[in-house]
């Protein structure tokens, strides 16, 4: 029996981490001269404690979240939208230290532009960062907000400052969104999955923050691939990721992953099938099935999807559309740290790739998980 199989069995029996560590050391020659045991495929909890909720900043499992929803990274830190806490949290990857970057520490909602904990959000969802700023899809306020990471200063980039929804293209706060969800950066532009409008929007980060619609038509919900952006049809693009100049959308209601060319709005389905509905099938392209995916991220060659209602983490090879399941088991909800299909998630939403690992906002149990690739 190899060490990885043995560890799986021990983990299933509930033996503590100390005992597991001792077993690894013994199996690897006592830690001197032996080979290291592989952690590939292992899911661990790095922040929060399953089923314990709150607004507490702290280190690792002493921290508390309400509903961590989406997640971004600058390589050294994670930035998490704690949606129903109405705040943005920062996690130092190396130490697990959790702090509140911006928003209320008591759950209070609002639309205030201010610094740090004096700022107010209303159900923030998608988040992206360029390492200097974090951009947040503030869904309940129907706006896109900017946080200067070094200071926590929050401003409204686009969308109404009083939360009025709409579909208007325009400059900055003259533009209107309706429950924006996914968000991603390509160069000097923000791309937004405008959820209730079922459109893909672009914000040019120039002086005027001009907003335009690149794919989909507001109010037209459904499915259609098209070489022309306005003829494409979406149904709640919940998560966005960018790779190789293309934009990829995890589409909540169509249960698929779409590819969008930013310059033209050309849209094609990479994996999953709106016509065939929900499922948990691994396969290639339209033969694969998802169940209401939310978050999506990329390492450049592959996409990784939080297949939320299946409680699994899926991988898509961009070049082929081949889909496999990396962790979790469809239909089995829980909060178990383990390898691959033995791990359990409960409504994983946000996901981000950082240096050979995936970090996942496991929303129902209020934790941040790590999947080592």
Of 105, 95, 98, 102, nearest to 57 by C-alpha is: 98
Of 280, 279, 196, nearest to 234 by C-alpha is: 196
Q: Are strands 143-148 and 153-159 parallel, antiparallel or unpaired?
A: antiparallel
Neighbouring residues of 61: CB distance < 8 A, sequence distance ≥ 6: 45, 47, 48, 49
Sorted by where each starts, the structural domains of the chain and their CATH numbers stand as 1-38 (no CATH), 46-372 (2.120.10.30)
- In this prediction, residue 38 carries a pLDDT of 67
Q: What is the pLDDT along the chain (373 residues), one digit of tens a residue?
A: 332 333 233 233 333 333 333 333 233 333 333 333 469 999 999 999 999 999 999 999 999 999 999 999 999 999 999 999 999 999 999 999 999 999 999 999 999 999 999 999 999 999 999 999 999 999 999 999 999 999 999 999 999 988 999 999 999 999 999 999 999 999 999 999 999 999 999 999 988 999 999 999 998 999 999 999 999 999 999 999 999 999 999 999 999 999 999 999 999 999 999 999 899 999 999 999 999 999 999 999 999 999 999 999 999 999 999 999 999 999 999 999 999 999 999 999 999 999 999 999 999 999 999 999 9
- In this prediction, residue 3 carries a pLDDT of 28
């Amino acid at each position: 029996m190899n060490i990885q199989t043995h560890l799986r069995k021990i983990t299933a029996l509930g033996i503590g981490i100390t005992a597991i560590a001792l077993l690894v050391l013994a199996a690897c020659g006592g830690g001197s001269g032996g080979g290291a045991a592989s952690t590939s495929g292992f899911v661990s909890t790095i922040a929060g404690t399953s089923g314990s909720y709150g607004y507490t900043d702290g280190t690792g499992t002493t921290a508390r979240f309400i509903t961590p929803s989406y997640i971004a990274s600058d390589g050294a830190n994670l930035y998490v939208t704690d949606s129903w806490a109405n705040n943005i949290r920062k996690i130092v990857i190396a130490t697990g230290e959790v702090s509140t970057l911006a928003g209320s520490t008591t759950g209070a909602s609002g639309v205030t532009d201010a610094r740090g904990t004096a700022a107010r959000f209303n159900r923030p969802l998608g988040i992206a960062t360029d390492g200097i700023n974090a951009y947040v899809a503030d869904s309940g306020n129907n706006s896109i907000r900017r946080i200067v990471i070094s200071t926590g200063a929050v401003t409204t980039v686009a969308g109404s400052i009083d939360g009025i929804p709409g579909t208007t293209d325009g400059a900055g706060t003259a533009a209107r969104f309706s429950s924006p969800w996914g968000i991603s950066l390509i160069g000097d532009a923000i791309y937004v999955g405008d959820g209730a409008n079922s459109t893909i929007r672009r914000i040019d980060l120039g002086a005027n923050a001009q907003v335009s619609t690149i794919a989909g038509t507001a109010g037209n919900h459904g499915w259609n691939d098209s070489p022309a952006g306005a003829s494409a049809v979406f149904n709640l693009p919940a998560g966005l990721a960018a790779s190789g100049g293309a934009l990829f959308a995890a589409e909540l209601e169509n249960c698929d992953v779409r590819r969008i060319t930013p310059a033209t709005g050309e849209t094609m389905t990479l994996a999953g099938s709106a016509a065939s509905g929900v499922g948990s099938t691994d396969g290639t392209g339209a033969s694969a099935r998802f169940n209401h995916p939310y978050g999506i991220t990329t390492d450049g060659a592959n996409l990784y999807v939080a297949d939320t209602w299946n409680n699994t983490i899926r991988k898509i090879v961009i070049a082929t559309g081949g889909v496999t399941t990396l962790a979790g088991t469809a239909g089995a909800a829980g909060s178990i740290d383990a390898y691959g299909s033995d791990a359990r998630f409960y409504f994983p939403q946000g996901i981000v790739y950082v240096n050979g690992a995936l970090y996942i906002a496991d929303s129902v149990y209020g934790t941040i998980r790590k999947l080592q690739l």
